[in-house]
Amino acid sequence: MRPNLLKPILYLITRGATTETTTPEAVEFQEILTQVSAAVAAGISLIQLREKNLTTRVLFELTLRVAMITRGSPTRVLVNDRADIAAGAVADGVHLTTRSLGADVIRKSFGAQFLIGSSTHSLAEARAAKEGGADFVVFGPIFDSSSKKEYGPSLGVDQLSRVVRELAPFPVLALGGISMTNAKECLDAGAAGLAGISLFREPERLKAIMNAAKEFVRGDLK
């Protein structure tokens, strides 16, 4: 049974500022904890720990601390690519990239309650993730984004709308160059929510972003 993710789903992705030399005492480690605490207070739906350069030991420690902060709240925590660390630290799930194991493998290994998100850049990838047992997909880049240039040119809102229609009612989140200027455009196209790094970077703005997103969809959701 898939978890009930209330719309609009806001998916905060950490910015990957940590390195292999980062320790739990480091400023960048503590900044993530501050950001997570603000996200929980704001009611952000999902958090992805996208700290690819941390050592396994420190990533586990970070996940453990973040899971403790979010425990008892509606905010769910996913670890980028490392389902083993997510499960070991009692986080909620994993976010898969196009280089990760398939959602079907993760589902079989970690069970029905393990939350699985997948990054996708085409309708075919999104459909495969859905059929493999993912709980949602992130689709993009929708707009130009410096962090997503490796995935090619922006796909645009029309492509987002097509994927949403083809996979409905499966949740599709918009990613790539998302701002409060274009967020409504993505939600109007049928996106179940918004994902991003820069959009959620400033902890003090998270509550305002959540309130604005709710206003964008008010009256459109049953």
Count of Cβ atoms closer than 10 Å to residue 202 Cβ: 12
**How confident is the model at residue 155, as a pLDDT?**
96
When pLDDT is averaged across residues 63-81 and rounded to a whole number, the result is 97
Q: What is the pTM of this model?
A: 0.93
Instruction: Give the Cα separation of 66 and 26 in Å (integer).
Output: 15
**How confident is the model at residue 220, as a pLDDT?**
53
Tokens 């910015």 correspond to what residue? 15
Instruction: Give the Cα separation of 32 and 51 in Å (integer).
Output: 10
Contact 171, 193 (CB under 8 A): yes
**How confident is the model at residue 218, as a pLDDT?**
75
Tokens 């040119």 correspond to what residue? 153
CA distances from 196 to 16, 24, 113, 148, 177 (A): 12, 24, 24, 11, 8
- Confidence label for 152 from pLDDT (cuts 50, 70 and 90): low
- Confidence label for 5 from pLDDT (cuts 50, 70 and 90): confident
> Please, what is the average pLDDT of the chain?
94
